[in-house]
């Protein structure tokens, strides 16, 4: 009896402590929310014109095809009635005779309570029925005349469906309820603290932190490949990595990462670093580290990144190695800028330091850029322009949130449930740490990228202007190695191949398994994702994939073999990186920390 009383007293004390913490955390929460800046509504979500068009489209769909609309409603009520009958039978018999249903493999409902407990089983099944109903309604919102609007309706319908999953709310999540009871509410207090910290970290904006922000430090636990900054401008630092082999290829390799992220995705921890692996294969490796822009760089556009970024970096590396040419890699928008640079050099008949080009998940034809096109309408573009004009740059939080909602269950709601409802600590995951270490975009660059490339697709139409000269995909004439990723939601593989298939010169095309990051950062030692490869230009994408050669494991060795034939003879490593080469500061440099 005394033991039970002691336990009860301890529980009561813990509850009291938790209530005190909640009171304190609520004060911090309201203070954090009060600091949130007011933004243009265009960047927050679709406006009234979008919903009005959706309603009109749905009404027109019902009028033109009333049987389809009738069947949609009928199916909803049939499924709902069947669910009620199933639950009634369970209550009468005292046992659940659950039938397998579509969506049973949904990771959000993995816990056994979603199937065993009648209440939570009903919530899950009714949610799945309602989701299917809303998606069917979205089908009727299309008149067939505006394909993009129809895709937007489907996209934002799915956003609503994902938002209102019962797993996202405390009262309807059995896992969260059970943990709260078992911990005397401590899990909810810790979840509230996680929420408050996210709001404070983002000045009142709710951006779910995906990884432990204290788990890694740039230059100490990630981005640690030895090297030095050998050249610097107002736009970028150029890093040369220290050789690890006695001999290196005479022709150097330069990597151009995207400037909407930090370069060290290619140099995370040693076990996954592409930079370290390339150095170990005997390549003289350079990488561009872009400056994180502020207001003073507001007038930097694509021509700036081409003529003041990519080109001088290539020329400097070429000069350090006797002007005998270099091999160049462009990743994501870094690949887009590389392709524009190559086209401009050819069109203006200037010397081109690049002897080969490799493209990692790079979009050059934006006709079908994947889910992101659902955001790129006039309302969103106008909102972005107003925001970037006001500050001189596009805030990284806007872009981070936009990309997160392309995969909301993985990058928003799933992490939010773990952090806020279950009170779990953030995982120590290097890739997610990098993902959150995002950058700003200069005002002109943001505007040009969204309008000239994404919206108007000017480069694919040979109509993109650099320094008064219009260039396009047909102006690229260089041996090329193209890597796209099968599950890429940012640069879909078919879109990546469609544009670069127009490049002239010897080409090799690789389709890697997995997504935009994991498909690229795929160290051979992991023996994880495979790939398909062919030297045939993919005119018909489905036929190309069917006829390509499948391989297990990483594509890195295939690429290294391709590179080796274009990298010249092996020379002494000290000759490749002599002591006379300027060493401004140790890698990873200071730009990546800004």
Residues known to be catalytic? 332
Q: How far apart (Å, rounded) are the C-alpha atoms in residues 156 and 151?
A: 9
Q: How far apart (Å, rounded) are the C-alpha atoms in residues 383 and 392?
A: 14
Burial 17-51 (b: 16+ CB within 10 A, else e): ebeebbeebeebbeebeeeeeebeebbeebbeebe
Query: At which residue do the structure tokens 């298939």 appear?
Result: 501
CB under 8 Å to 578, separation ≥6 — which residues? Answer: none
User: Residue 332 CA to chain centroid, in angstroms?
Assistant: 10
Structure tokens at 455: 């919206």
Q: Cβ–Cβ contacts within 10 Å for residue 186, how many?
A: 17
The span from the first CA to the last CA of the chain, in angstroms, equals: 61
Structure tokens at 586: 């140790």
Nearest-Å Rg of the Cα atoms of the chain is 27
- Per DSSP, what are the bridge partners of residue 483? 360, 510
Query: At which residue do the structure tokens 């997160």 appear?
Result: 404
Q: Do 494 and 542 form a contact (C-beta atoms < 8 A)?
A: no
CA distances to 177, 241, 587 from 440, in Å: 39, 26, 22
Q: How far apart (Å, rounded) are the C-alpha atoms in residues 472 and 500?
A: 11
- Per DSSP, what are the bridge partners of residue 569? none
Query: At which residue do the structure tokens 């408050």 appear?
Result: 196
């Amino acid at each position: 009896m005394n033991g039970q009383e002691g336990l009860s007293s301890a529980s009561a004390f813990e509850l009291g402590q938790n209530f005190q913490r909640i009171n304190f955390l609520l004060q911090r929460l309201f203070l954090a929310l009060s600091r949130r800046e007011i933004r243009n509504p265009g960047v927050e979500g679709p406006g009234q014109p979008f919903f009005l068009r959706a309603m009109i489209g749905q009404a027109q769909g019902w009028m033109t095809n009333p049987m389809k609309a009738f069947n949609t409603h009928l199916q909803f009520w049939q499924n709902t009635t069947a669910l009620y009958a199933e639950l009634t039978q369970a209550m009468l018999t005292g046992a659940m005779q659950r039938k397998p249903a579509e969506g049973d493999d949904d990771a959000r409902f993995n816990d056994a309570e979603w199937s065993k407990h009648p209440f939570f089983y009903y919530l899950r099944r009714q949610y799945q029925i309602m989701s299917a109903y809303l998606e069917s309604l979205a089908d009727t919102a299309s008149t067939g005349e505006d394909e993009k609007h129809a895709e937007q309706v489907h996209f934002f319908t799915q956003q609503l469906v994902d938002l209102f999953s019962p797993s996202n709310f405390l009262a309807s999540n059995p896992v969260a309820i059970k943990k709260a009871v078992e911990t005397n509410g401590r899990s909810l207090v810790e979840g509230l603290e996680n929420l408050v910290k996210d709001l404070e970290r983002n000045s009142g904006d709710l951006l779910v932190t995906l990884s432990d922000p204290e788990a890694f430090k740039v230059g100490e636990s990630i981005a640690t490949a030895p090297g030095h900054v050998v050249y610097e401008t107002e736009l970028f630092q150029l890093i040369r990595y220290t050789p690890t082999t006695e001999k290196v290829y005479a022709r150097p390799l330069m990597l151009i990462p995207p400037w909407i992220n930090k370069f060290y995705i290619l140099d995370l921890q040693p076990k996954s670093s592409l930079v370290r692996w390339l150095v170990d294969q005997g390549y003289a490796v350079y990488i561009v580290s872009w400056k994180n822009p502020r207001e003073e760089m507001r007038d930097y556009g694509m021509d700036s990144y081409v003529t003041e970024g990519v080109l001088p970096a290539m020329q400097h590396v070429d000069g350090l190695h006797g002007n005998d040419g270099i091999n160049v890699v462009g990743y994501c928008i870094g690949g887009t800028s590389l392709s524009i640079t190559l086209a401009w050099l050819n069109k203006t008949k200037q010397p081109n330091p690049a002897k080969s080009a490799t493209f990692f998940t790079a979009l050059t034809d934006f006709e079908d850029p994947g889910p992101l096109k659902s955001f790129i309408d006039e309302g969103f573009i106008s909102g972005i322009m107003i925001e970037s004009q006001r500050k001189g740059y596009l805030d990284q939080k806007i872009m981070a949130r936009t990309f997160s909602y392309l995969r909301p269950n993985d990058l928003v709601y799933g992490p939010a449930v773990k952090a806020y409802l279950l009170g779990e600590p953030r995982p120590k995951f290097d890739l997610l740490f990098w993902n959150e270490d995002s950058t700003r975009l200069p005002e002109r660059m943001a505007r040009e990228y969204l309008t000239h490339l994404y919206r108007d697709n000017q480069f694919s139409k040979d109509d993109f202007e650099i320094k008064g000269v219009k260039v396009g995909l047909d102006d690229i004439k260089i041996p090329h190695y193209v890597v796209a990723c099968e599950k890429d939601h940012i640069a879909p593989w078919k879109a990546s191949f469609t544009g670069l298939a127009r490049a002239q010169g010897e080409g090799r095309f690789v389709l890697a398994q997995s997504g935009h990051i994991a498909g690229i950062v795929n160290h051979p030692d992991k023996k994880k994702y495979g790939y398909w490869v062919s030297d045939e230009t993919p005119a018909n994408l489905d036929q190309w994939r069917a006829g390509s050669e499948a391989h297990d494991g990483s594509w890195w060795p295939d690429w290294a073999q391709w590179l080796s034939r274009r990298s010249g003879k092996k020379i002494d490593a000290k000759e490749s990186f002599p002591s006379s080469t300027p060493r401004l500061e140790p890698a990873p440099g200071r730009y990546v920390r800004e």
